[in-house]
Structure 1
Amino acid sequence: MAFIHDVLEAPSYGWKNADGELSKPTQKQLLREFLSRINIFKDKKNWLSFTAWMMVVALSPFLYFFIFEYFSVSRLIIAFVYSMMVMGTHGTIWYHRYCTHGAYKFRNNFWRFVTQNLTLKIIPEEIYAISHHVHHALSDTPGDPYNAQGGFLYCFLADANHQPVNRNLTEKHFERCIKLMKHTGVTTNTYKQYQKWGSIANPLHMIVGVIANWAFWFAVFYLLGGIGLVCAIFGAAGVWAVGVRTFNYEGHGKGDDKRREGVDYNTKDMSINQVWPGIVAGEWHNNHHLYPKSARSGFKPYQVDSAWYYIKFMSLIGAVTHYHDAKAQFYKDYVRPDIKAIVEPAYCPLTGEKLLLTE
């Protein structure tokens, strides 16, 4: 557990207060921490958090020009579908189920590269994957990088304030981080480079990769619909990049227990299944916390899982060679016992007559 507790850079206000409970900083403290964490002039080791937020800033002019120069209803619909559904689903497919949990395996690096770059690249894999392991290990307890009990801003600014890797890892713990990232194909630093840059990912390779990704999709969308389509989709991607930072606050009940019987079966934390994230991104969050290594989290008939549909399709064409599907286990553990109790006939212990079951 020492690795899980130490792998992330602790904020200046700490994970716990003097009583051992969650440290709940003020909004002023959170904003001060955020500005400190993205200040590359203060410390070049802030480069990853700075880059992540600068990508959002770089997309804002596209949103401006879409709204004021190239707006149309058809482009708005395309932008909505792309940001909410395409990027949302890709986030679940790539960052969540593959980079963090390794819920499926690709046949080769080609298919991994294709999946990685299906959409505009905005979130660095390192910031997401390593901290998400901590989130699952310490969910809704001090040390959870986006603990909803800390408040909205605590979660919203988490990628800069709480999710970066500890800059003083031992070489042994650094190698453990390398193992957590190895399957993603991200080019990693040596330990000596890590001590210089404070990150697992190599700065040059990551930035070049982002530029190449954006250039490719700029060209594709320009050829398909001109600069108007480019502005619509790039601007919408920026909106998604901001919106996705609110998810874990919502997905853990905004810090309150909003779990519902018969809907949210995981009782170990405050995660909940939400219809909107489930439909647009295949993110049934309580189900996911129940079986984090499952390539499918939409278990019930109404739980649409677009991320699973992609993974299953890739399996059918041979691009994915292995995946873990926990649906059968879910029904065995949580649904079938209930059904069995209802459908099996009951008999009177005195007369042996079959009893009629009523609600």
Structure 2
Amino acid sequence: MAPPESTPILELEKMRKRGFWFRKWDSADITNLCLIIVRHVLGGCAPFVFDWGAFWVALVLLIFTGLGVTLGYHRLLTHRSFKIPKWLEYFFVYCGAHGGQKDPIFWVSVHKKHHKYADTEKDPHTPMEGFWFSHMGWFCHNQYIAAKCGESRSGEYSNVAELKAQWFYRFLHDTSIWHTVALAALLYLHGGFPYLAWGMGMRELVMNHFTFLVTSASHMWGQRPWNTPDTSTNNWWVAILTFGEGWHNNHHAFPKSARHGLELWQFDLTWELIKFLHMVGLATDVKVATEADKKRMALR
């Protein structure tokens, strides 16, 4: 009889043998896949119903929701790289909740596991499973994520107790899909199908693929100036597309740092916004990598 600790590994092997498509799909997997298909269909329709108003609305929403994920979900909630007033925290996080990447409890939990088990068997979106899986496949495999992380079900979220203790994040977790539906309805009522295609389809399509490049491309291609125990890389074009998240080797070397683009030429839009918030007194306790940290992590 296999010891208890081997059970997740055995379950993973069973899932691999069944493959990605020919497996048991739970309701969360089906919902995520349907949403991905819908946004791809809407995004594909967008160029054929081009409207300048819809384009500019989509661009503004892309900036706000993108910063909601990079500043709110990632650098604030996951790594606690700085502090801001609770009303401003909730604003950025709510913007991120419209990014098509699920609610903050799910997102932060998965990302914490990624850092804890980076590029190992337990990494929720390890590149060891291939580009497709690390880019997007993991997002539609709820039970696989749970098995990788040794949880009996993915809904436990045992590593984000601080978020589960707050009513706002519990509310978003329980109602996330309805916020997406409400935004889609508002866009459609305002400008019809072009606003829906651009404001929801094209925007979420672009944002999701750009974000997922951090979990795939930035663990496969790029430079590694820091001695990290994983395959994270600095990828300049991913950094441009993701408001600075593509300086991924920098981030894995100094995960608590609010600044990912450590060199002057490493553009990091999210860091520029954090600097501005600090300048006007809204951001405090901003953490950055020290010279001692850099010497410790430098490649010999």
TM-score bracket for the superposition, by shorter chain length: 0.7 to 0.9
Show structure 2 runs of 5+ residues with no match: none
Task: Kindly indicate whether residue 16 of structure 2 is the aligned counterpart of residue 25 of structure 1.
Answer: yes
Higher helix share: 2
CA distance in 2, matches of 1:58, 1:11: 33
Task: Kindly indicate whether residue 36 of structure 2 is the aligned counterpart of residue 56 of structure 1.
Answer: yes
The answer on whether the counterparts of 1:82 and 1:233 sit within 8 Å (CA) in structure 2 is yes
The count of aligned residue pairs is 285
Task: Kindly indicate whether residue 88 of structure 2 is the aligned counterpart of residue 111 of structure 1.
Answer: yes
Which of 172, 177, 189 is the equivalent residue of 1:207? 177
Deviation per CA, 1:119-154, whole angstroms, max 9, x where unpaired?
A: 634112233211211111111111111110211232
Q: How does 1:59-70 map to 2 (within 5 A)?
A: 59-70=39-50
Which entry has the higher C-alpha Rg, 1 or 2?
Answer: 1
Counterpart in 2 of 1:95?
73
Distance 1:182 1:51, change over 3 A: farther
Counterpart in 1 of 2:216?
249
Task: Kindly indicate whether residue 131 of structure 2 is the aligned counterpart of residue 140 of structure 1.
Answer: no
Deviation per CA, 1:14-58, whole angstroms, max 9, x where unpaired?
A: 1xx6xxxxx9936x602234xx33x42xxxxx3xx4444443344
Which of 220, 227, 237 is the equivalent residue of 2:203? 237
Report the residue type matching 1:151 in the other structure. G
Cα displacement (A) at 1:231 = 2.9
Show structure 1 runs of 5+ residues with no match: 18-22, 41-45, 189-200, 339-359
Counterpart in 1 of 2:238?
277
CA distance in 2, matches of 1:322, 1:208: 34
SS across alignment from 2:83: strand
Q: Which range is displaced more, 59-68 or 151-160?
A: 59-68
Cα displacement (A) at 1:249 = 1.8
Q: How does 1:69-218 map to 2 (within 5 A)?
A: 69-70=49-50, 83=62, 87-108=65-86, 110-118=87-95, 120-124=98-102, 125-155=104-134, 156-161=136-141, 162-163=144-145, 168=152, 176-179=159-162, 181-182=164-165, 185-187=168-170, 202-203=173-174, 205-214=175-184, 218=187
Counterpart in 2 of 1:313?
276
Report the residue type matching 1:154 in the other structure. F
CA distance in 1, matches of 2:21, 2:238: 27
Deviation per CA, 1:175-234, whole angstroms, max 9, x where unpaired?
A: 65433554694116xxxxxxxxxxxx753x333443445556x389x48xx764553232
Report the residue type matching 1:186 in the other structure. Y
The answer on whether the counterparts of 2:222 and 2:235 sit within 8 Å (CA) in structure 1 is no
Cα displacement (A) at 1:160 = 2.8
Report the residue type matching 2:204 in the other structure. G
Report the residue type matching 1:206 in the other structure. S
Q: TM-score when scaled to structure 1?
A: 0.65
Task: Kindly indicate whether residue 264 of structure 2 is the aligned counterpart of residue 264 of structure 1.
Answer: no
Which of 274, 285, 288 is the equivalent residue of 1:322? 285
SS across alignment from 2:216: helix
Deviation per CA, 1:249-303, whole angstroms, max 9, x where unpaired?
A: 21111xxxx564xx52133111000001222321110010011111111101111
The answer on whether the counterparts of 2:50 and 2:194 sit within 8 Å (CA) in structure 1 is yes
SS across alignment from 2:285: strand
